[in-house]
Structure 1
Amino acid sequence: MIYDKPKHKETQQERQARNQREYERLVAELKH
């Protein structure tokens, strides 16, 4: 069920993109 929360300005897509970046940064640190 997809619905907009007026209070929440971050969309699901933006949140997923941010999670992806954080995950990639974490992996990069582990490989370091």
Structure 2
Amino acid sequence: MFYLVGMTIAALLAFKFNLNVKGLRIGLICGLC
């Protein structure tokens, strides 16, 4: 379940807000919490 939430947040941060790898990491960490 956390992969679904984390990857959605990661994709938004990485591509919409132009954070690239940093956005992917933040999204995965948010999904784990």
The two structures share one fold, judged by TM-score above 0.5: no
When normalised by structure 2's length, the TM-score is: 0.40
Say which structure, 1 or 2, has more relative contact order (CA 8 Å, 6+ apart). 2
Q: Per residue, is there more helix in 1 or in 2?
A: 2
When normalised by structure 1's length, the TM-score is: 0.41
